[in-house]
Amino acid sequence: MASAARSAPLPESGSALVEDPRFQEILQRSRSLTQKILDSIADTHSSCIHTETLKLDSSDIGRFSTMATNIGIPPAPVLTAVSENFTLETGLRVMHDGLQLHQGLLSSIAPRLAEKDKVVALMSDVRDLKIQIAKVNLFWTSVSQLKKKTLCMTSRNHNNFLIHFTDAENEPIAHRSAPHVRLGGTAAPGGI
């Protein structure tokens, strides 16, 4: 799980989404939970694994692959490098799926352990991080859909408005509208 900590590419700084205080709060909670999870892995491992030869960072993990397969533990997901084509949506989906996998593994292991308090706490943190990731996704989706609707409605309304005028009338209207569009919706002095 520690090696699976990745980040999703955020939209450009300066965008309304990145600067929104609610979005920043969700991101901060996500970062805090991620760090808490990463910091607790070693302690959680040592709280429930007492055999000296079973070290967390051991290179002989491969010898347990047959046993893992027999008891139904899926292999760790293959991590792909983040690229320019790696969208925020893709990153959020991959993170959510990875957290779902880890939550399932912890849920199947916890009942078999004598000391499970730290595993249960880790499961709660993973669940909370999944919720934060879902909130980021929901926030991003709602902002994206709102932008698309606004652009579509603006385009449709301007097109319908201009249809009712002759070419000679459309040119001055378009000229007068240019500053309005360039200023992002704030009308120029003496507005339209």
Do 86 and 117 lie in one domain? The reply is yes
Q: Are residues 26 and 112 in the same domain?
A: yes
The owner of tokens 């007492």 is 50
Average per-residue pLDDT in the chain? 72
Residue 79 inside a domain? The answer is yes
Residue 156 has pLDDT above 70, yes or no: no
- Same domain, residue pair 110 and 142: yes
pLDDT the model gives residue 12: 53
CB 18 within 8 A of CB 91: no
For residues 91 and 6, is the Cβ–Cβ distance under 8 A?
Answer: yes
Whether residues 10 and 52 share a domain: the answer is yes
Band the pLDDT of 190: cuts 50, 70, 90: very low
CATH number at 17 reads: 1.20.1250.10
Q: At what angle do helices 117-163 and 88-109 cross, to 10 degrees?
A: 160
> Mean pLDDT across the stretch 5-28?
66
Do 17 and 58 lie in a common domain? yes
What mean pLDDT do residues 144-151 have?
A: 57
Residues 87-138: tens digit of each pLDDT = 888 888 888 888 998 898 888 888 888 899 999 999 999 999 999 999 888 8
Lowest mean pLDDT among 7-16, 31-40, 60-69, 86-95: 7-16
Shared domain check, 174 and 87 = no
Contact between 48 and 161 (Cβ < 8 Å) = no
**pLDDT score for 191:** 38
Claim to verify: residue 30 and residue 91 sit in the same structural domain: yes
Whether 130 and 73 share a structural domain: yes
| 21 and 116 belong to one structural domain | yes
How many domains, in total, are found in the chain? 2
Question: Same domain, yes or no, for 130 and 79?
Answer: yes
pLDDT band for 47, please (50, 70, 90 cuts): very high
> Would you say residue 186 has pLDDT above 50?
no
Task: Flag whether the pTM goes above 0.85.
Answer: no
Among candidates 84, 95, 79, 81, which has minimal Cα distance to 137?
95
Name the residue range of residue 31's domain. Answer: 2-147
Cα separation, 126 vs 136, in Å, equals 15
